[in-house]
Amino acid sequence: MTTTTEAAPGGATTEVAKGRKAPLSEGARAERRLGWLLCAPAVIVMIAVTAYPVGYAVYLSLERYNLELPNAVKFIGLANYGAVLSSSYWWEALWVTVLISVVSVTITLVLGMLLAMVMHRTLFGRGSVRTAALIPYGIVTVAAAYGWQYAWTPGQGYLSAMFNNSAPLTDQFKAIGVIVLAEIWKTTPFMALLLLAGLSLVPEDLQKAAMVDGASGWQRFVRITLPLMKPAILVAVLFRTLDSFRIFDNIFILTGGNNGTASVSILGYNNLFNALNLGIGSAISILIFICVAIIAFVFIKGFGTAAPGTDIGKR
């Protein structure tokens, strides 16, 4: 009610101390209120769509809840987690997901770095290279996945025909190889663009100085470019790793998760829509969430990845 209780002794001093411990000026309070007001709608939507459902998933995961048996809903504690963690399907899906993530992110990083160098150094045609590279990034994953599927179908696909009419999608490891290939094709441009931004931060003078001192191209890359790009690389790898850990679209179209190619996301989806089991499905959801949290934690604490955007707060 009493808006003038600050009793600022001498307006000038409060102006100087603005933002410190001094009582808030009228302007600072208005700024605060406006800040909260502007953020409120975004915060409400984000909480409503993520925090609330996750909380609800925790609750569902503690219940026996099958949509086919709506009257048999019962609180069963951690039994769903026990069921998931003792199932070979979960561990196989986790292993497949980790394999796909590690292989595809590693190869994408190397190819992305090469592509970034090409885009950075090329003498001409930079625009057309960039335009072409943006197409895999932008294309609907599902559309591209159908292209790969047909290309590897014996009797109608050009890739299958090139490899003696092979049918890689029917074999676990070959199918994983095709999935990884589709992931790499789709995500290398994104990786390259992030790395290109990091590459442009490496000062040209430093490269020239090293060249004068007789450093070879490889030495310059390892000793100068890589260390300076470390933050950009770590952020890009963190994002790509988390993204490929939730891989769904490519597998869904290419194999449907058959022949031992189901990722954890496919497993969660099938549990909901084929087994109609909300309890088990929710337990899988929470376990995936925990895996993602662990990956992010390891990157941020272990590798010292600056969490993207943390600099924003320092302004």
CA distances from 302 to 149, 191, 203, 253 (A): 38, 21, 28, 35
Contacts of 98 (CB under 8 A, 6+ apart): 245
- By beta-carbon proximity to other proteins, the closer residue of 107 and 197 is 197
Cβ atoms of residues 207 and 224 within 8 Å: yes
- By beta-carbon proximity to other proteins, the closer residue of 45 and 222 is 45
Say whether 214 sits in a helix, a strand or coil: coil
Q: How near is the Cβ of 74 to other proteins at its closest, in Å?
A: 16
- By beta-carbon proximity to other proteins, the closer residue of 56 and 91 is 56
Q: How near is the Cβ of 251 to other proteins at its closest, in Å?
A: 11
Distance CA 65, CA 271 (A): 12
- By beta-carbon proximity to other proteins, the closer residue of 50 and 219 is 50
- By beta-carbon proximity to other proteins, the closer residue of 176 and 279 is 279
Q: How near is the Cβ of 210 to other proteins at its closest, in Å?
A: 14
SS3 sequence of 34-71:
HHHHHHHHHHHHHHHHHHHHHHHHHHHHCEECECCCHH
Helix 278-297, helix 88-121: angle, nearest 10: 40
